[in-house]
Structure 1
Amino acid sequence: MHKRFLTLLAAGAMGAFTSSAALADYPEKDIRVIVPWGAGGGTDGIVRKLTSIAEKNLGTSMYVENIEGGISATGISQVMSARPDGYTIGALTYDSVVTVPWQGLLPSYDMEKLKLIARVTSEPDAIIVDSDTPYDTFEDLLAAVKENPDSVKVGIQNIGSRLHLAILQLQDETDTKFKIIAYPGGAAPQKEAILNDEVDVVATSLGDFAPLLESGDVRGILEFSETTNPTFNTVPTAKEAGLDLRIGSFIVLAAPAGTPDEAINAIEQAYKEALESDEFQTWVASVGVTPDWLGTDEVTQWADETSQTLFDQMDMLVEQGIIKK
């Protein structure tokens, strides 16, 4: 029995040595990068650009694969179930971290099955107004809403969405009451609504409305962020307005739980260098998204705290009958 134990111990040590030796040459093959949204979208474009630079830093080919469905759950579930060998990673967004776990529609979907690598960008939500309105500033808008509660129409996307939460939290913090109108289907219906004068105000990201901002049809009067948007740098931040509200989407890179630290560290460093490169910084300055790095040591705590805060807020709205789970 003693001899058998020593044999097994030696075999285990040899296996660990072999694994470490193999990882010393990491990466040795192509790396699959899953984007859980359609090709050509904002997340897809950002991940593809970053990855095209990161693969040069890693010295291997990285191919992006779009796997749509389940408000990102279909693609991220494939990351969760992939072999934890450093050759499959995925891009998580707000819905991957907040909406899908909160709804609990997929018992197999568990954030514990992932190792978060880094947050690479933030895309804060914003308040955008029709250029024909008298609201030159966020303060002008607040004054009008306080004077006539429930009279200023604001277009969001889905009831219960992140943008719905943003307006509800804004109302609480500023003691105001907007008339909230939902336009399911993303930013496109919101654009039609504001151009057709159905609403004077919308809540969405500046990047989503970039063409209308550039044409002068609308103007941004507040972004729920800490830092100034690199593209639309004349739009005031929530911090500058003295507001506590910070909300928006983001992109977080993740691998299957159990992926060796050597692989995680290599991927993290490759993407960090890609994010900081002149090539990416120049490119991202034109798309209305803010590079916003949080590395492996910080991103998990940030994601846990962010999701729990939003879970609590949504649970409260369910209790109040405002949204349904």
Structure 2
Amino acid sequence: MTMSRRAFVKTSAAASLSVIAASAKAAAYPTRPITLIVPYGAGGPTDTIGRIIAEGLREALNGTIVVENVAGASGTIGVTKFYRSPNDGYTLCLGNWPTFVLNGAIFKAPYDVTKDFEPIGRVVTDPQIIISRPDLPANNLKELIAWFKSNGDKATQATGGTGSTSHVAGILFQHKTDTQFAFVPYRQGVGAAMVDLIAGRVDTMFSVAANAIPHLKSGAVKAYAVTAKERLGIMPDIPTVDEAGLPGFYTANWHALFAPKGTPKPILEALNAALVTALANPDIRKRMEDVGQTLPPKEQQTPQALTQLLKDDIATWWPVVKEAGIKNE
């Protein structure tokens, strides 16, 4: 059926008004506090990064950003709450490699990480550091591997839960080094795991730099290697895995901002612009670098770059997770 001229004019006018209304709404955005869901417990590395970037966004948007910690099930509880939030730009999520890549291959969640969210932009990336309780007798990575082989029946490694960055890295480490140890998952994340590591209740952990650096500086934990090609600028005495005797064992975690699917495009554009502004803020940059984070170049701060990163990581890591038999138990 051919649309009449009058109907066409009415439809076009309605569409134009909708675009104008959305643009006007974005121009006034935000008019009330924005909630940033951090899908892990308070005190962990994602919480630290979330609170730093929240301050940058507050200044860039001239609005209020409230950080809400929603921990459990390796981040899936928080992401599920985020998935069910209104798509009006007032609920965001600080996702990362485990929650938006690994969990998609491990958990049966109500959402699809490949199509149910709007990427805003990448915030930071950081490698992991292999650490232990301070009194563990091994003094370098080769000695640590030997210690695992001699104590496989009682050695433990703390993780942030099934499918977390620390868990996946630990499984790959076992395969690469032919070692065994028991995993101890922490529902509240690696912040809680670090407390037990310092107290000596668990032996080792793969920790992202943001979580490990303060405790390494105080001497509360011991470091063996950084899982990257280059040493950390803030902790230059820690060798890379290549230097320490486990060449090519590279693992890194990234954090990024997401909005619910269907969030108006003008609001997404405003949020990305605010993120770019925040990441250019010298104070925010320094605070991120002080906890071992690498900030992406400006061309990698776009929604398109984040979309490609997700696609590439899913293609790389989903087969690894499935081959390793990592399941939600």
User: Structure 1 230/291 Cα, relative in aligned 2: closer, same or farther at 3 Å?
Assistant: farther
Deviations 1:66-105 (A, max 9, x none): 3444443343234334443433321113342134422343
CA contact (8 A) 2:138 2:147 kept: no
Query: Is structure 2 residue 239 aligned with structure 1 residue 236?
Result: yes
Aligned to 1:18: 20
Aligned to 2:182: 181
Aligned to 2:128: 125
Give the one of 270, 277, 280 matched to 1:273.
277
Query: Is structure 2 residue 217 aligned with structure 1 residue 214?
Result: yes
Aligned to 2:324: 317
Alignment identity in percent? 24
Give the one of 260, 264, 268 matched to 1:264.
268
CA contact (8 A) 1:145 1:152 kept: no
Deviation at 1:116, TM superposition (A): 1.0
**Bigger shift: 296-305 or 29-38?**
29-38
Distance 1:224 1:256 in 2: 32
Report the 3-state secondary structure (helix = DSSP H, G, I; strand = E; otherwise coil) of the residue aligned with 2:320: helix
Amino acid corresponding to residue 324 of structure 2 in structure 1: L
Deviation at 1:119, TM superposition (A): 1.7
Aligned to 1:252: 256
Ranges in structure 1 where 5+ consecutive residues have no aligned partner: none
**Bigger shift: 234-243 or 30-39?**
234-243
Distance 1:128 1:56 in 2: 36
Deviation at 1:112, TM superposition (A): 0.9
**Bigger shift: 60-69 or 295-304?**
60-69
Deviations 1:231-266 (A, max 9, x none): 323222346667333324332100122333332232
Distance 1:72 1:146 in 2: 29
Deviation at 1:220, TM superposition (A): 1.6
CA contact (8 A) 1:156 1:204 kept: no
Aligned to 1:32: 35
TM-score, normalising length from structure 1?
0.79
Aligned to 2:8: 6
Distance 2:208 2:152 in 1: 23
CA contact (8 A) 1:51 1:271 kept: no
CA contact (8 A) 2:131 2:205 kept: yes
CA contact (8 A) 2:39 2:69 kept: yes
User: Structure 1 80/236 Cα, relative in aligned 2: closer, same or farther at 3 Å?
Assistant: same
Deviation at 1:169, TM superposition (A): 2.3
Query: Is structure 2 residue 320 aligned with structure 1 residue 304?
Result: no
Aligned to 1:291: 295
For residues 140-159 of structure 1, the aligned pairs below 5 Å read: 141=144, 144=146, 153=155, 155-157=157-159, 158=161
Aligned to 1:90: 93
Report the 3-state secondary structure (helix = DSSP H, G, I; strand = E; otherwise coil) of the residue aligned with 2:66: strand
Distance 2:195 2:66 in 1: 33
Amino acid corresponding to residue 282 of structure 2 in structure 1: D
Amino acid corresponding to residue 66 of structure 1 in structure 2: N
Aligned to 1:75: 78
Distance 1:14 1:273 in 2: 30
Distance 1:34 1:217 in 2: 30
Deviation at 1:26, TM superposition (A): 4.3
Distance 2:114 2:268 in 1: 17
Distance 1:134 1:96 in 2: 34
Aligned to 1:116: 119
Deviation at 1:306, TM superposition (A): 1.6
Amino acid corresponding to residue 183 of structure 2 in structure 1: A
Distance 1:86 1:194 in 2: 40
Amino acid corresponding to residue 4 of structure 2 in structure 1: H
TM-score, normalising length from structure 2?
0.78
Distance 2:263 2:314 in 1: 23
User: Structure 1 211/81 Cα, relative in aligned 2: closer, same or farther at 3 Å?
Assistant: closer
Report the 3-state secondary structure (helix = DSSP H, G, I; strand = E; otherwise coil) of the residue aligned with 2:255: strand
Report the 3-state secondary structure (helix = DSSP H, G, I; strand = E; otherwise coil) of the residue aligned with 2:124: strand
CA contact (8 A) 1:206 1:220 kept: no
Amino acid corresponding to residue 10 of structure 1 in structure 2: S
User: Structure 1 22/161 Cα, relative in aligned 2: closer, same or farther at 3 Å?
Assistant: closer
Report the 3-state secondary structure (helix = DSSP H, G, I; strand = E; otherwise coil) of the residue aligned with 1:179: coil
CA contact (8 A) 1:36 1:73 kept: yes
User: Structure 1 226/26 Cα, relative in aligned 2: closer, same or farther at 3 Å?
Assistant: farther
Deviation at 1:48, TM superposition (A): 2.2
Aligned to 2:66: 63
Deviation at 1:133, TM superposition (A): 5.8
